[in-house]
Structure formats: structure tokens, C-alpha cells
Structure 1
Amino acid sequence: MTATLSDIVSRVAENTVDWDMEMGIDWEKACLIDGLLATGEQPERTQEIVDRCIATQTSDGQFSYGSLDPLHLDWAAEWTIGEYQSVPDPAAIGHGVLEYYDRTGEEYYLDAARKQIEYLRDVERSNEGGIPQQRGEISLAVDGLWMVCPFLARYGVLADDPVAVDDAIQQFEVQRKHLQDPHTGLFRHTWMEQPNSYVQSCFWSRGIGWATCALVDTIEHVPDDHEGHALMEEILRETCSTMVGLQDDTGFWHNIVDDPEEPLETSGTLMAAYTFKRGLELGVLEDEKYEKSAERAMEVCKGVVDDDGDVRRVAVVPGGPEAPIGVTLHGQGLFLMAASCFQ
């Protein structure tokens, strides 16, 4: 008997909440938190994880140890810059923190979010106001859009702080200039301000997914009359119109979306499915090709979940060209996020 999507979702959630969150990377925890909240699975454990991320908020305001632990990779990602300590990644946990504020009204959650916002405001930025990806380096990575923009926008609405909403839009403006390819609408990964150069310029599926997921998750919270609304909708349509045509006949996207020699990869495929479904729900995407593409993607991703609830064929941290394929915390969370759109 073929398992239903609901059965698979429960299997993935039950498996993942038993993982050691103390060993998890901050942004990977954020993917899981958002996936659990979206599906409604394991509610007590979800709140425990969020509360622990607040309990381990650093003195300068970053959630969950603040990316201060050394990142040890099992493979050589030659394009990374020095010892990696992220600026925006811990802020991704703010999505879940604000969800609990919305649900409970407890100032504890809003106060924690405020500390993380203040950190982002105080950090040294690029000349155009872009939040840098790493401490000590003025570089932009497309990941940062999802890590900070939905959080900034939602905080701005909940805390009546329009500056935070404007800041979210500014991040899209800056990254569009430096990381979005004007010919395809796709996003490159990492740009350095000095020297003006790309550290990693491939169009990799999870990188593009960070941009598109950030767009749909931010659009939801930005007031309709904000001038940034039209900008975000335009960027989303540009990127999705190219992405939908790059989907493999299997239903997957390749790890590097325009390189058929790269593996077919799950996390970017899940992010495309999530984006297309959310974009349709928001009325930003309208063509039925996005619905069909999302359904194909979700169906093929159901098949990579094993009997234990492991989501396979995921590019491991940090991703990018030639990344090994395996099972990861972010893959588990992204599966839940995408599946929530089909339940």
C-alpha cells in the first residue's frame, strides 16, 4: 500500500525531532522549525526547540549560539571564505520566534526577536546597506535573503516598526543588483564587495531556492500598499519563469540548475515546489504550469523518503557545485515546508 503524504510527513517529523539539536546549524534548525510549524507536527517539541534557541541567544542578540561554533565540513568547499561565522543565519530562527509571539502574545518572544533585530541593525554593512554573509568580510550570499527578510518584515508589522519592513526590501534591492543575473533572472551565490568579484557564481538550486522562498515568505508580511511589494513580485516572476523551464523530466532540478552533469537534488526541488505553490496562493504566479511543476516535484520528492523518515539526495552543507549528496537537517525541514503546501 502506497503511503499518503500525511503518513510520510509524520514519519519525517517523528524521525527528525529526535536528532541532536545541539549539533545542528542555526539555519538548518530554522528550516525544521518552519516545517514543523507549517505542518502542525510535534507541537510540544517544536516549542522546546524554539525556546532553546532563545535560551542560547548570545549577548549581542544572535539566536542559537550565533554561528560562533566552528563549521567543520566533511568535504572541501573551495569557494568558502576563511573560518565561517555567519551574520544573517541565526536570524532565520526569528521566523519561528515571531510565530510563537503571534500565537501566545508573550512579550518573551517579541523581546528575543528585538535583540536579534538590533544585532542586524548594528552590524557593519556593504556600501549599499546589504547585510554581509560573514563576520569580518563584506560579502553577500543569496542565503541571507531567506535568513533575514521574512523575519524583518514580519517583525516590522508585529512591532509597528516600518524601518524593519523597509530594511527587508532593501536587502532584495541590493542582492538583485549584485547577484541576480539580468539575462535569466536566476541568482548567483556569493559576491565580494572588495575586490568586486564573485566568490561562487554558479546557479545552484538551493541558492536560488533561498531567494524565491524569501520572496514568497516576505511578500506575505509586507503591506500591500508598500512600494516594495511590486519589486518583490517582479523578481519572483523573473526567477520562476526561468526555473520552471529547467526542471528535469524526473521532476527534480539539478544541483546546479543549468548543468545536466550535476546530480538531481532534493532540497532545491522542494524549495521550487514550495515557491510555486505559495506564489500561486498569493496570486503572484498565475500560469497553471507552476501548479503542474510543483506537483511533479513534490511527487518525486516523496519517493526519496525512506522507511525511517530520512529525506535523501540532499546536497550537504554548505551546498554548491560538487557538493556530496546525503541526509541533512535542512532537507528534513524543507520537506515539511514544501509538503505543508499540499496537505
Structure 2
Amino acid sequence: MKNPYQPKWVLLSASGDHQSCSLEESLDDPELLAARELNTRCPSRLEQPPSRKSFGNFRRKIALVIAGELRCYERNKEFLTGLGEQIDIFTVTTSRFGEAAQKISKKERCFIIDDHIKEFNEDLGLPVSSMKQWHKLSIGLEMIKNSEKFQGWQYKYVIKLRTDYHFVHPQRFIKNVVEACQGNDFGLIGASDKVFAGSRDLMMLLQAFYANLNGWFDQKEGGYWPINARQVLLSDDSIKWYGLNWPIDLVGTPSNTEIWRQQLHKGGRSLADSLAKFKPNHDTKYHRLFKGHPRFASEVSFARFLNFNGIPFRDCRSLRGFLYSDRNTCP
């Protein structure tokens, strides 16, 4: 079934939901459309080519974090091995994927959560599975900090990836990601909460996101946060800003993000101030075009955190892709 709300390639970045898109949308990135269609039929036929080696010394500039279960590692092995030859990779995972982790990262950059009682119990106690990726990312970011202290210098950029994600345009991966980061100095780039990157300091702020999951994001999907309209207009549709709770009294019920953005532009400062100062009551009704887990919608919570902190989020060609539809069963 076609989802009229998901614009252009954002529709295609979803995983395994068998949505289709219009010809007009597909022309924006026909390679992405073709790969995603194959993902719905026979994901094992998808081939993940490696990234070409980039000229220049990026090892002292880029840290890459892979946080979570290393599903589909074999499909992305060549791609990840190539990246590991150029930049430093930090891996946080469980003992089930310990062997794969050792192939991706050097021993000192590999964290097996089962081997650490405090972190293991904390991970085990998280009520929604998607919270675990943020816990492991926080650990990975702390590993980077510790490595920086030992090395005596800091990385310039940090990238967060996952092994069960198919990259449609990996050919100039490192160069393209760095260029996109430089073009969005005050924000992040990527595909929602799946894969993303940014300056080292901005990425480190995500430790605060995890630290506040219980108090500010768990079981808060029905509430209202002040909305930063400027951050939305500085971002594109690669982040789920349209999953926030927007008061119908202020924005109505726009049927797609293009109309919605036009309204924000037209409303100007007056609408922006109203969204920032809005006080809900028991009769308040909200409009949104994306819904996630009813207790903790990871993509929406991520968008809410970035919006509250005024951090724009934009598309990056080399980070476009989707989760393998058979990721729960592939090796």
C-alpha cells in the first residue's frame, strides 16, 4: 500500500514494509528504488560493494561506531573491512556477535557488553528494544573519548552505522560523508536514527539523549514538547520531524510535508512563537504523519531531541539505503 505521507527517498529508506512510491518519486534516486524493490523480493541478492579508498589521512579525523547486534555482517563484511583500513572503528555488541566484532575492530576498540556486569544489567533492563541501540551508542562514544585521551588528540567527525543496513551509494563513502558534514556544520546528516554522522562535538551530545531516555522520552509519546520551527525548516525529510505532536489548532492537518513546510514559511515568526510557547490542555488534539512504538518511538524521540536542541538534520547520498528485510534471519 502506498503511504502518501512519506516523501521521496524517505519512503524508500523504510524497511520491509512493502510500500511503493510514484514514478516521480523514484526518479529522484532510481538506484535506491531498484535496490529497495529487490529487498522486498530477494534481499540475499543485494550486493554491497566496498567503498573506494579515499585519498588523504582520515584515520586521525574520523571515528566510526557500530552499536548493536551485528546482523547481516557477512553481507557487509567487504564494505566494513574497507572502511576499517581507512578510519578507526569502535564496536559495541553482545557476545553472540563477538567473533564478528573482532573482525571489524581492534581489541581495544571492541566492547562486548556481556563481559561488563553494570552495562549488561542496564541493557537487560531497558523496556523497549530500540533503547538498546542508544545505550550501546553512548558506550561507543565514551570509548572514543577514552581513546582520545590516550592518543592525545580528538577526532573531527563521528559516524554511526549498523551492519544490517544496505548502502546504495557506497562508492565515495568517506569523502562524501566528510563533504556533507562540512556542508552542514551545525547539524547532522543521515537517514533518521538508522545511520548518521556529524562533527565530533555534536555527536557527543547524543550521550545526553540516552541519559535522559527514562525521564524525558520513555512513555512520553502522547505529550507536547515546544517545537522549534526554524530547526524543521533547516532540516529536510530525512528526520521524522513530521512524527512530532503538532497542535491541530496551530497547523491544521497538512496531508504531506511539502504543504506543511509551506505553512511554516507562511506563518513566519508568529507561528514559530506560537509553537514554542504553546500550552496544551486536556482537549488538545495533535497531527502527525508518522507513528512509532507507542511507548518509545525511537525515530520520533531522536527527532524531538534534535529539534529541542536546534540541531538540523539533512540527507547524505552515501548514507541512503534501508534495513535488510530479512535482517532477523540473515547471518
- Note whether the superposition's TM-score is higher than 0.5: no
Q: Which has the larger radius of gyration?
A: 2
Which structure has the highest strand share of the two? 2
* Higher RCO (C-alpha under 8 Å, 6+ residues apart): 2
Which structure has the highest helix share of the two? 1
